[in-house]
Amino acid sequence: GGRYYTEDDIPTYNVAEDGTVDWLTFSGFRRYHSECHVCHGPDGEGSTYAPALKKSAVNMDYYDFVATVVNGRVNGNSVMPHFGENLNVMCYLDDIYVYLKARGTDAVARGRPAKKAAKSDMIAEAENACMG
């Protein structure tokens, strides 16, 4: 169905030998740059305002990542807003996660991935159902 998982059923990326990324990784790039990069910098590299998420995604447990995005976080003067009601984030949370994992492990370079797999019918159906 175009989704990939670790042996622990955690969403993950798939990059083919020719550099083609799976749909979720490509979608994650797009969603990250529409919702997250303003604070966290392009390509998950971080900024003076917020940390590099490509590093956080490698070290952060999937469930902690989800909880942080859904509920937000306060760390001293730094505040991560909650996105639990933002469908543009929540419907693509796994996409953003796998993109950041791919960036954090250097499986995907900076910039828009040049080659992407097609969106599967299963992914399209899930997206339509979530966006309502």
Instruction: Please tell me the predicted confidence (pLDDT) of residue 75.
Output: 82
Q: Does 52 have pLDDT greater than 90? A: no
Q: Residue 72 — very low, low, confident or very high, per pLDDT cuts 50/70/90?
A: very high
Q: Does 117 have pLDDT greater than 90? A: yes
Q: 4-5 and 11-12: which strand pairing?
A: antiparallel
What does pLDDT average to over the chain? 94
The answer for residues whose C-beta is within 8 angstroms of residue 115's C-beta and 6 or more apart is 16, 18, 19, 20, 21
SS3 117: coil
Instruction: Please tell me the predicted confidence (pLDDT) of residue 48.
Output: 85
24-28, 40-44, 90-94, 115-119: the lowest-pLDDT one: 40-44
Q: Strand ranges (DSSP E) for 2-131? A: 4-5, 11-12, 73-75, 78-80
44-48, 103-107, 124-128: the lowest-pLDDT one: 44-48
Token pair recorded at residue 26: 């490509």
Distance of CA 58 to the CA centre of its chain: 12
Instruction: Please tell me the predicted confidence (pLDDT) of residue 87.
Output: 96
Tokens 């998982």 belong to 5
* pLDDT above 70 as % of the chain: 100
Q: How far apart are CA 110 and CA 127, in angstroms?
A: 26
Q: What is the average per-residue pLDDT within 18-35?
A: 97
The more confidently predicted of residues 48 and 122 is 122
Q: Within a 13 Å sphere around the CA of 23, how many CA atoms are in the beta-carbon half?
A: 13
Instruction: Please tell me the predicted confidence (pLDDT) of residue 50.
Output: 86
Distance of CA 101 to the CA centre of its chain: 7
Q: Does 97 have pLDDT greater than 90? A: yes
Instruction: Please tell me the predicted confidence (pLDDT) of residue 30.
Output: 97
